[in-house]
Chains A and B, each alone.
Chain A
Amino acid sequence: MIVYLTNIAEAFLPAALITGILVALAPGETKRRDVVAAAWAVAAALGVGWVVYGLAAANGVEVRAKTVIRIVAIAALVGALVLAVLRWRLADRRRVWFVIATIGVAAVLAFQAMFDVLSGTADRSFTATAVLNTELIANSAAVALGAILMTALTAFVAHMSRRVVRTATGVLVAAAAVLAATWGAEVMLGALQMGLLEVTSGRVSFVAKATQYGGSTGYGALVLLALLAVAFFLARPSSDDGMSEASDGRAERRKRRAFALGEARWLRATLAVGTFLTVTLLYYDLYASLPPTLSKAEAAVPNDEGVVRVPIDSVKDGKLYRFAYIASDGHRVRFFLINRYDEDHVKIGVVYDACMICGDDGYIQDGNDVICIACNVRVFVPSIGKAGGCNPIPLEHAEDGGDIVIAARELERGAKYFSEVVAITVTDPVTGNDLINLEAPYRYDFKGNTFFFESQDSYDAFKAEPEKYAGEVEGRLYRVQGHQTRG
């Protein structure tokens, strides 16, 4: 439900802002006929956006279509700026042309926003079945709410901009500049993807930065909206501006008061919608869209014999017990223990917290289910400890005197299943000096083990004869090798 609302808000907020300001900049009063024409044009543009997205997705040309649409949208932004400049030039003359151009810009932006909403929600199911159900109704309500809020916001922006034309023009220029930059970066990305532009590191870096910040155009639009509201508030008419009753008459004063009251209502309505949208976007980005987090892992420190011992009694209650071991080169190796049956039939599954297929996102326990975070599959708990499917990778271990015994050697072998590296003190194998692994200037992978060096010399020396310095290291396992058993 909230997915649809946030997608609509993010895609349509810039369009609502720019359209609202353009409406306010149009010379003369807004006529009813203009509003009706604009509504039809926007509705048609939304329909076209729907059809175009459908065709593009069906034919697998989404990237091309998006690139073309972005170019058209940038043209529309330029059109909007031209209109803003023209306003100061020609006052009431050629009003019709100004209105038609504004409607054109609004239609293009709405068309693009529709395309964005559809491509942003393509992987979500609007409803699981064609029969009317709660999810379908809730999602439809979210879409309807989004449409109402965006329409209302356009009207609010138009009303406020009329009072503070200079600020509104400034906001329009700022919005157009920022949007043109992000969309330009997306055009560039499309061109890179389609092979029209040569890939260089400068271009990739620009595209990466622009698209990273481009994801927050919704917040940008809300900030500009707030700016507009502040300007509107500062320019508010006072209900009692010191004029005496004698000089101005009571009727005149009451009219003023009514006007001031009306303006305050516009402001309050805008603030209410703006706050609601901000809260919705923040809730989605900071909470609802985040993946589940792993429970805390207990530190597993091997004893003098080089083994980790875990008493079976402490892990037999059916919960998932996660541990983390820090490998010699700083890899954080997570593994977990879980009783596969009940407390009367204790069979402990001992596995790495990683999947051969999905990688090291890990597993969480939700009720009785053990779930792979990456692919959301429910793992059949009695099968934990067996290889295959999306099961966690089995970890070799032994049982001894009521303890599960895991050799540190085994955990070292699985270090490459994990990508998380923590800062630890390591030793340069050539010089024997200590250094911090993450700050080491040189590193070299030998049999999957990473060695760190303080200088070019020791790096070269090691590279020439790794066996001499590395000592007896065991090769590490990689996920691409698939399941490996000893012997």
Chain B
Amino acid sequence: MYLRMIRQSFFEGRKRKALAAITVALAAALITTLLNLSVDVGDKMAKEMKAYGSNIRVVPKSENIPLKIGGVDFNPLKGRDYLDEAELTKIKDIFWSNNIVGLAPFLDVPVEIAGKDAGRVSLIGTYFRKSMPLPSDEEYRTGVRITHPYWQVTGAWPDDESASEVLIGRSLARRLGVAAGDTIGVTRPTEGSGGSAEASYRITGILATGEAEDNAIVAPLGAVQALAGLQGKVQSVSVSALTIPENELSRKAIRDQDSLSTSEYDVWYCSAFVSSIAHQIEEAVINASARPVWQVAAGEGVVIGKLQVLMLVVTLAAFASAAMGVSSLMNTAVMERAREIGLMKALGAAEWQIHLLFLTEAVIIGVVGGILGFLAGSGLSQAVGWAVFGSSLAFHWIAVPVVIAVSVATALAGSILPARSITRLMPVEVLYGR
């Protein structure tokens, strides 16, 4: 009976219902867009937090002294304090040393290109795949080829032991018009005195990383140290480690290590959390500060995190306005069908049975509007994704039920007031046409 009545009444007032569905769809499109953006970044962040591999950046302690005023870094020690290269083996000596897959030191020196007016460019010294004999493993080799597997080289990787082979960043190579096999000379402006050290390097390959290295020359660490007169010094170390996902305990430890009880501290220390590995590196290397690198959390995550409250407000506003639109349309429907309702009441239908008819119509409108809005919103969010982050957004199946649920809720919220007026209808009055 109920289904038959729904089927018969559904195609009445088609225009009005289509209008209501479109109202819901507009709100749903907006909500889909915001939801897609937020979930995309949120999922990336969650994945990063749950990953089984992480990167840790080790820098001298003084680098982490915050001395920023008005966004400008006034730390006088920035870039002038160094770690000892000889200390690096200690990183492979901590409790979780087996979980440290690789490490790569970095030393960044500003240089000028001889004979070219290219301004100052970075000359970065690092390990490519350098042999680093350890007491436990004589054949241990490490460097950027292990810690930065996404670095792509067209040509050959330089030999770590040579003092004259380098890689050149993709953008810089294009700017200078050089290719693999060419030779370039660099000069180092020595501060204070006017003199400069010079060196000449042979390019073995073009490097593409998508980051700052695209605009730099990357050379074996020893060569850069010799040029800069900084024998045995490095500025930072990238450590790649196999870790387990962060959980309550590790988050507590990140917030405040002193708040851990002794047994909690033991569990934390003996679990391969990225935070505990970082802590152990700090213990092992003198004057070092180690921090996990969470790329998404530090980039897009900050943006979305700040925008989230705004998104919530916009969503609520869309929800409320769509519900009001539906409400007025449903009110008309109740007025139009007053006689029908009066007849049903006179025949002995219970209040809730009549409500059920109207609410079911509202649910159908909500589902239809939600699906339309989801389709429109998916397209819109791709456009926003390109505009904001410069990349397309992945499809998130979770958005489908959420958007449809919100749309149905919108339609139902809009039906509450009209449904109440059903209660007030007196069969005698409407059937008499008064």
Interface residues of A (CB under 8 A from B): 60, 122-123, 125, 127-138, 141, 357, 369, 375-380, 383, 386, 388-391
Contact = CB atoms under 8 A, between A and B. Distances in A.
B281 to A, nearest CB: 14
Please give me the 6 A-B residue pairs with the lowest Cβ-Cβ distance, nearest first.
A133-B42, A131-B42, A128-B46, A383-B98, A132-B38, A128-B49
Nearest to A136: B42
A473 to B, nearest CB: 32
Nearest to A125: B247
Nearest to B398: A134
A138 B42 contact: no
B45 A129 contact: yes
A389 B272 contact: yes
Contact of A133 (B46, B99, B101): B46
Contacts, number: 101
Nearest to A366: B52
Contact of A127 (B46, B96, B137): B46
B46 A132 contact: no
Contacts of B244: 375-378
Interface in B294-329: 297, 301, 304-305, 308
A125 B248 contact: yes
A43 B429 CA distance: 41
Interface in B3-45: 35, 38-39, 41-43, 45
Nearest to B47: A128
Nearest to B53: A378
B319 to A, nearest CB: 16
Contacts of B49: 128-129
Nearest to A369: B52
Contacts of B242: 377-380
B136 interface: yes
Contacts of B402: 137
Contacts of A375: 244, 271-272
B270 interface: yes
Given A133-B45, A379-B98, A389-B99, 7 more contacts: A122-B248, A128-B46, A133-B39, A134-B42, A134-B396, A380-B99, A389-B96
A262 B99 CA distance: 64
A380 B95 CA distance: 14
Given A125-B247, A130-B305, A386 B42 contact: no
Contacts of A386: 98, 136-137
B248 A388 contact: no
Contacts of B50: 128
A321 B59 CA distance: 41
Contacts of B99: 377-380, 383, 389-390
Nearest to B304: A131
B97 interface: yes
Contacts of A132: 35, 38-39, 42, 308
B246 interface: yes
Question: Size range of the interface on B?
Answer: 35 or more
Contact of A134 (B43, B137, B304, B308): B43
A369 B243 CA distance: 12
A388 B97 contact: yes
Nearest to B241: A380
A131 B271 contact: no
User: Most chain-B CB neighbours within 10 Å: which of A60, A357, A369, A378?
Assistant: A378
A376 B99 CA distance: 13
Query: Per DSSP, are chain A's interface residues mostly helix, strand or loop, or mixed?
Result: loop
A123 B247 CA distance: 8
Contacts of B100: 380
Interface string B65-104: 0000000000000000000000000000001111111000
Nearest to A251: B348
Contacts of A388: 95, 97-98, 136
B97 A389 contact: yes
User: Most chain-B CB neighbours within 10 Å: which of A122, A135, A375, A377?
Assistant: A377
A357 B95 CA distance: 12
Contacts of B98: 379-380, 383, 386, 388-391
Contact of B272 (A122, A136, A141, A377): A377
28 contacts: A125-B247, A129-B49, A129-B301, A130-B305, A130-B308, A131-B305, A132-B38, A132-B39, A132-B42, A132-B308, A133-B38, A134-B42, A134-B43, A135-B46, A138-B398, A375-B271, A375-B272, A377-B99, A378-B243, A380-B98, A380-B99, A380-B101, A386-B98, A386-B136, A389-B98, A390-B98, A390-B99, A390-B272
Contacts of A377: 99, 242-244, 271-272
Nearest to A383: B98
A340 to B, nearest CB: 11
Contacts of B247: 123, 125
Nearest to B42: A133
Contact of A357 (B45, B243, B270): B270
Contacts of B271: 375, 377
Contact of A129 (B136, B261, B297): B297
A138 B42 CA distance: 13
B101 A131 contact: no
Contacts of B41: 131
A263 to B, nearest CB: 16
B42 A378 contact: no
B328 to A, nearest CB: 29
A380 B402 CA distance: 40
A123 B255 CA distance: 17
A118 to B, nearest CB: 12
A371 B247 CA distance: 18
Interface in B257-281: 261, 270-272
A376 B247 CA distance: 12
Nearest to B140: A382
Interface string B222-255: 0000000000000000000011111110000000
A131 B246 contact: no
B101 A128 contact: no
Contacts of B45: 128-129, 131, 133
A32 B97 CA distance: 66
Given A129-B45, A129-B46, A129-B297, A378 B96 contact: no
Nearest to B52: A378
A377 B100 CA distance: 12
A332 B222 CA distance: 53
Nearest to B37: A132
Contacts of A135: 43, 46
Contacts of B53: 378
A256 to B, nearest CB: 15
Interface in B135-184: 136-137
Contacts of B43: 133-135
A127 B38 CA distance: 14
